[in-house]
């Protein structure tokens, strides 16, 4: 199985500041034949299902604000929230879909400082 490791477990950021979440895979999730990284990011608020934010490591899903961005390649990835809003308080998960079993990171809780 590909293990997805997120860091930090939690972070507190002031409104308007930048939040950075890291995700590392135990093996590459870059598929050489199409040069795509098989990584997605989700946001989950309390009592709600996860909401897709980013796929192919850096493509924003429909309706996702442009303050959310994804970067990275191979085994190391980052989700950045450029200017944190109160509505961004949530837990964020990365997921690899390079191969089954599909695996998620342990989550990063973002709080307002």
Of 50, 34, 31, 35, give the one whose Cα is nearest residue 95.
Answer: 50
Residues 6+ away with beta carbon under 8 Å from 19: 11, 13, 80, 81, 84, 88, 110
Among 37, 81, 88, 105, binds another protein (CB under 8 A): 105
Contacting another protein within 33-62 (CB under 8 A)? 38, 40, 42, 48-52, 55, 61
The contact mask relative to another protein for 1-40 (x = CB under 8 A, - = no) is x------------------------------------x-x
The binding site for another protein (CB under 8 A) comprises: 1, 38, 40, 42, 48-52, 55, 61, 93, 95, 97, 100-107
């Amino acid at each position: 199985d590909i293990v997805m490791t997120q860091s930090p477990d939690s972070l507190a950021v002031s409104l308007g500041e930048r939040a950075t979440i890291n995700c590392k895979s135990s093996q590459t999730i870059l598929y050489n034949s199409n040069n795509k990284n098989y990584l997605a990011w989700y946001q989950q608020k309390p009592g709600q299902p996860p909401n897709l934010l980013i796929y192919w490591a850096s493509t924003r899903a429909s309706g996702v604000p442009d303050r959310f961005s994804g970067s990275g390649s191979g085994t190391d990835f980052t989700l950045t929230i450029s200017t944190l809003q109160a509505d961004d308080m949530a837990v964020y998960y990365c997921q690899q879909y390079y191969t089954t079993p599909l695996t998620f990171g342990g989550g990063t809780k973002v709080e307002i400082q």
